[in-house]
């Protein structure tokens, strides 16, 4: 699970930085643990058919948009003062770039995680996937 997360982070960073189509078969391990980290316990491999809930947070497209909007509605001298944000407005301010969502979906699909098991989460922009090992 941890190696899957680290691989995803390395792939996402490389893919976002590259204008080319993703190459999921040309990956390199960026970091690996040869021993169990301190305060962790190895319980062996998960039983066959185990479902893993994988939550992937996606970086907002406009990183500072929410903070800017909050300052505006909180500043008595700003024209937007007191105009509190709706849930929909907040969601649009923290939404990831559509390409990011598509890239992560393609990565999940490449690893045989069916689209039907992936859902968009609400609190933190991202995806949730139910993976069978």
If you average pLDDT over residues 78-94, what whole number do you get?
89
pLDDT in tens, 32-49: 888 888 999 988 888 888
Q: At residue 31, does pLDDT exceed 80?
A: yes
Q: Which two tokens stand for residue 88?
A: 């929909």
Q: What residue spans define the domains of the chain?
A: 2-18+51-132
| Angle, alpha carbons 86-129-132 (nearest 5°) | 165
Whether the full predicted model's pTM is greater than 0.75, yes or no, is no
The dihedral over CA atoms of 26, 109, 95, 7, expressed in degrees to the nearest 10, equals -40
What integer best gives the mean pLDDT of the chain?
A: 78
What tens digit of pLDDT does each residue of 107-128 get? 888 888 888 888 776 655 566 6
| pLDDT of 14 strictly over 90 | no
Residues whose CB is less than 8 angstroms from the CB of residue 113 and which lie 6 or more positions away in sequence, other chains included? 54, 129, 131
């Amino acid at each position: 699970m941890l190696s899957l997360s680290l691989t995803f982070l390395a792939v996402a960073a490389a893919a976002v930085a590259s204008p080319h189509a993703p190459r999921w078969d040309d990956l390199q391990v960026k970091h690996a643990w040869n021993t169990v980290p301190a305060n962790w316990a190895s319980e062996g491999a998960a039983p066959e058919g185990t479902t893993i809930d994988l939550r992937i947070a996606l970086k907002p497209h406009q990183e500072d948009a929410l903070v800017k909007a909050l300052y505006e509605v909180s500043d008595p001298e700003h024209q937007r003062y007191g105009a509190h944000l709706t849930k929909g407005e907040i969601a649009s301010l923290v939404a990831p770039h559509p390409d990011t969502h598509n890239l992560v979906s393609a990565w999940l699909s490449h690893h045989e995680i069916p689209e039907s098991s992936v859902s968009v989460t609400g609190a933190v922009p991202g995806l949730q996937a139910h993976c069978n090992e």
